[in-house]
Structure 1
Amino acid sequence: MSDSLKVGWIGLGAMGAPMALVTAQAGHEITAFDMDPAALENVAPLVASASTSRDAATGADVVVIMVATGAQLEAVLFGEDGIAEVLSPETTVLVMSTVGPAAVESSAARLASYTTRFVDAPVSGGVARAGTGDLLVMVGGSAEDISRVHSLLDAMASTYPVVGSRVGDGQRFKVVNQLLCGVHIAAAGEALALAESMGLDIAQCHEVLNAGAAQSFMFNDRGARMVEGNFDEVKSALNIFVKDMGLVTDAARAVEQPVPLASAAEQVYLRGRREGLGRKDDSVVFEMLKKRA
């Protein structure tokens, strides 16, 4: 393909691995690094392996970063083996992690002496859609920088609206997205726990209510997992929403915006992690909320 790019890819987790594969399948040259050697093996041979993050980033047109937290983003860029020093002014850094606006703004500012080409593009859609290139990507950055990564976004996403010209605007949109997702999952768990406590058939409850005004993506999707009761088959870990609802409440606090429902949902996820459920599927909130002493 004429617009094939040389891409350094950092982070092959549950979302990062399928995203890297669909990008490679679209004809881009991907060299990846992950702390877990098995993750590298799982994407071979379509995705080449690097022994360090610096090796992955050296000589790349674009470096895609798909890690879990702001601290990990900072370590990738500026840590002991940070990639900043091997970037050129021509390198575009494409951060697709959900790390909050403060983390990407700080990273872009610190990175400016190496490269000013920085695109903030968190993703939504889940693992299955990541594997089919059907994600929603919320893109923030300058038009010139975004134009350099269009072909990558084409491979990974069915839609990638530019939601702002500032680095950080993508993260702001994702914070709003995660507020809705986190509250909806907690509400689904609470609703089905109430249904069971009242002696209702939760499978029927899930089926019937999905046909009415109470339907939501999360009630349909996570509700099905709650009914099934298999919380060890992790499609999205509860720990992710501990992190993301923290980003929501942090962002809200920064602009003095009350978010009482998000705050309540955050407490549900924190309780789940405290009870040792952090690595379970996030639908386990149902199991937690229906517990009786």
Structure 2
Amino acid sequence: MKVGVIGLGSMGMGAALSLLRAGHEVTGCDMREAARAEFAAAGGAVAARADALAEGTEAVVVLVVNAAQTEAALFGEGGAASRLAPGAVIVSSATMAPDAARALAAKARERQLLFLDAPVSGGAAKAREGAMTVMASGSAAAFDKARPVFDAMAAKVWALGEEPGIGATVKVVHQLLAGVHIAVAAEAMALGIRAGADPRQLYDVVTSAAGNSWMFENRMARVLEGDDAPRSAVDIFVKDLGLVTEMARALDFPVPLASQAQQLFTAARAMGQGGKDDGFVIRVWQAMTGIKLPGE
């Protein structure tokens, strides 16, 4: 299948490599020369602009930062829509508000293109394994068209309904949990360090006991190593928890924990940590209390 992947970041690169490994004809699109070089070295075709995807592309996976970037990549000047085959499927995987997903689906329909509102989860490692989780909504025809793509890049595909926006809704709720879990994991580790606990022993105890979470185990492992290279950056959760609070506000629904977590990630960004791994929101507590982090 002729597939384009727009956005060769931590998730997009993994998706593109998984599709390539499955035998698809894949063009990876990214403005960054280093990302294009990495994918080209693996045997994929590359493009710096979305309108340079292969003519007649049958499916395009869009793994950029937000709705605005998705719209530009697909339908803006230099967008990919002109390169897609009739009846091609768009797999829109950026985290965005449900209304934004519905608006993109309408633009796709105007062009007789299939559309799946299909955000993903799993992180860079799962993406490279072809084992992401996809939470998708769209027509049966769109799911059928995208099946070879999902078979290559996902371990689990949740079909959540026919209406675009449902996938985005579920992902926003998921990000509420993910962001709060990261923030509380950092708070717990920082408190333990301040109280004099050995951080490695604290980590080992928590990860073997009922208080553990996937985010504590994953993110605090990086804190122990002092590894703040961004697999998912602080800035992502400033954005995604903003989507949580916006959706909740529209529903007159209080989200105090999500709001507090967003403020912590915003504080980390204000400290110049926006591009760092999201577990390093722990530096907010470091700034307030003077604790010394492992590896520093």
Q: TM-score, normalised by structure 1?
A: 0.93
Deviation larger for 268-277 or 242-251: 242-251
Q: Work out the CA distance in 2 between the residues paired with 1:69 and 1:126.
A: 17
Q: Work out the CA distance in 2 between the residues paired with 1:271 and 1:10.
A: 31
Residue 60 of structure 1 is matched in structure 2 by 57
Pairing 1:196–2:173 present? no
**Partner SS, residue 148 of structure 1:** helix
Q: Of 5, 27, 36, which residue of structure 2 is paired with 1:40?
A: 36
Which whole-Å deviations, capped at 9, do the CAs of 1:251-290 have from their partners, x for residues lacking one?
A: 2222222111011100011111111000111111112213
Which whole-Å deviations, capped at 9, do the CAs of 1:7-38 have from their partners, x for residues lacking one?
A: 12211111101110110110111122211122
Q: Work out the CA distance in 2 between the residues paired with 1:107 and 1:99.
A: 11
Pairing 1:268–2:268 present? no
Q: Of 24, 27, 30, which residue of structure 1 is paired with 2:23?
A: 27
Q: Work out the CA distance in 2 between the residues paired with 1:18 and 1:110.
A: 27
Could you tell me whether the CA contact under 8 Å between 1:21 and 1:46 is conserved in 2? Answer: no
Could you tell me whether the CA contact under 8 Å between 2:3 and 2:57 is conserved in 1? Answer: yes
Residue 225 of structure 2 is matched in structure 1 by 228
Residue 172 of structure 2 is matched in structure 1 by 175
Which letter maps to 1:258? P
Q: Work out the CA distance in 2 between the residues paired with 1:77 and 1:116.
A: 11
Check 1:227–1:50 CA distance in 2 against 1; reply closer, same or farther (3 A cut).
closer
Residues 1-293 of structure 1 mapped to structure 2, 5 A cutoff = 5-44=1-40, 45-56=42-53, 58-231=55-228, 233-291=229-287, 292=289
**Partner SS, residue 90 of structure 1:** strand
Please list every run of 5 or more consecutive structure 1 residues that lacks an aligned counterpart in the other structure: none
Q: Work out the CA distance in 2 between the residues paired with 1:116 and 1:201.
A: 56
**Partner SS, residue 200 of structure 1:** coil
Check 1:209–1:50 CA distance in 2 against 1; reply closer, same or farther (3 A cut).
closer
**Partner SS, residue 138 of structure 1:** strand
Check 1:57–1:94 CA distance in 2 against 1; reply closer, same or farther (3 A cut).
farther
Deviation at 1:40, TM superposition (A): 1.1
Deviation at 1:116, TM superposition (A): 4.1
Deviation at 1:154, TM superposition (A): 0.9
Which whole-Å deviations, capped at 9, do the CAs of 1:152-177 have from their partners, x for residues lacking one?
A: 10111111111222111111111111
Q: Work out the CA distance in 2 between the residues paired with 1:106 and 1:20.
A: 26
Q: Work out the CA distance in 2 between the residues paired with 1:206 and 1:51.
A: 42
Deviation at 1:88, TM superposition (A): 4.8
Which letter maps to 1:248? V
Could you tell me whether the CA contact under 8 Å between 2:6 and 2:62 is conserved in 1? Answer: yes
Deviation at 1:87, TM superposition (A): 3.8
Please list every run of 5 or more consecutive structure 2 residues that lacks an aligned counterpart in the other structure: 291-296
Which letter maps to 1:240? I
Deviation at 1:77, TM superposition (A): 2.2
Could you tell me whether the CA contact under 8 Å between 1:210 and 1:216 is conserved in 2? Answer: yes
Q: Work out the CA distance in 1 between the residues paired with 2:107 and 2:64.
A: 18
